[in-house]
A = this chain, B = another copy of it.
Amino acid sequence: MSSEIYSYIYNVVMDKGALDIYTQSIYMKKNRPAIKLCILCKEDDLDKFIDLMLLETSTFGVRYNKYNRVVLDRRFEKLETEYGKITVKLGYHNGKLIRVTPEYDECKKIAENRRIPLNFLINNINHLINKKFKINLLT
């Protein structure tokens, strides 16, 4: 399968409601470097994604297994910044705020439009986050 097809697959899979998607490089028998495509989806969506993998890739088979997940409770807020409002994602563990990250897609757009380095922008946003939110990782 041409490697250029992956960006398409990534889009299709996420659009159809997958929880996550990633690839890993593996080495198969007969000297074949290859790509292993991994999709994480809800149990109810299993058949849909098996069909999608069989139809959209060049594979002759799909393996699957059941995993459990623990995820942080998520909340989204708007943060006032000198660059305008930016969405930040808040992660709670046992009711305690332990993580706040700015939405990268929004930061990316600002950085591209204003022609400022993205890591400079994110550094400034993180500075604001540190002032505004009380993150506590101590148990």
Residues of A within 8 A of B (CB): 1-12, 14, 20-36, 38, 40, 50-51, 54-58, 60-72, 74, 89, 91, 93, 98-99, 101, 104-105, 108, 111-112, 116-120, 122-123, 126-127, 130, 135-139
Contacts and interface: CB of A to CB of B under 8 A. Distances in A.
A7 B123 contact: no
A53 to B, nearest CB: 9
A28 B54 contact: no
Contact of A60 (B22, B30, B91): B91
A130 B128 CA distance: 10
Nearest to A120: B137
What 6 A-B pairs come out closest when comparing CB atoms? A25-B25, A7-B31, A61-B71, A120-B137, A4-B104, A3-B32
Contacts of A24: 24-27, 36
A94 to B, nearest CB: 9
Contacts of A68: 63-65
A25 B27 CA distance: 9
A55 B3 contact: no
Nearest to A61: B71
B22 A26 contact: yes
Contact of A63 (B40, B64, B123): B40
